[in-house]
Amino acid sequence: MSYLTWDDSYSISQKIVDDQHKTLFNLINRLHDAMILGKSKQIMGTVLQELLDYTVSHFSTEEKFMIRYSYQWYVPHKSEHRKFIDQVTSFQKGYNEGKLILSLDIMGFLKDWLVNHILKTDKKLGEFLQDKPGI
Ligand code: FEO
């Protein structure tokens, strides 16, 4: 059983975004598994970097759609993205400096943030994008 399992309740009915969310689930699962299996600091650091990079890229995809279609909730949505990136960057810095270990608490934060963000904020965006061409 995966730590984070995708099902259709997470779909925002936009394939590009859903596929990216599935990749984020997969990266969080890889990070969780690496932690549980006691993988090396180097391996966990690599997965953490992949997660951070992919998250930045994913947020950029959503923000481009929001700008293209003048989405009225762009600013608060982008603000949620920014805060999450800042938080994960802070985790990464602490981890790389040996001041912080990856724990179930941190995994729980990543999981809960992503799930809540998809179910509330991204779903609202998905509804808005329903009738927009070229997505
Ligand atoms: Fe899928 Fe707004 O992040």
Give pLDDT tens digits for 25-69: 999 999 999 999 999 999 999 999 999 999 999 999 999 999 999
- Which atom number of ligand 1 is nearest to the Cα of residue 81? 2
Q: Is the pLDDT of residue 135 over 90?
A: no
Distance (angstroms) between ligand 1 centre and the Cα of 118 equals 6
Neighbours of 111 (CB within 10 A): 17
- Which atom number of ligand 1 is nearest to the Cα of residue 24? 1
Distance (angstroms) between ligand 1 centre and the Cα of 41 equals 28
pTM above 0.75, yes or no: yes
Q: Is the CB of 18 under 6 A from ligand 1?
A: no
Vertex 116 angle, CA 96 and 129, to 5°: 110
Q: How confident is the model at residue 112 (pLDDT cuts 50, 70, 90)?
A: very high
In the DSSP assignment, the letter for residue 122 is I
Q: Is the CB of 62 under 6 A from ligand 1?
A: yes
Q: What is the mean pLDDT of residues 3-22?
A: 97
Q: Is the CB of 121 under 6 A from ligand 1?
A: yes
* pLDDT on residue 76: 98
* pLDDT on residue 134: 66
Ligand 1, atom 2, lies closest to the CA of 122
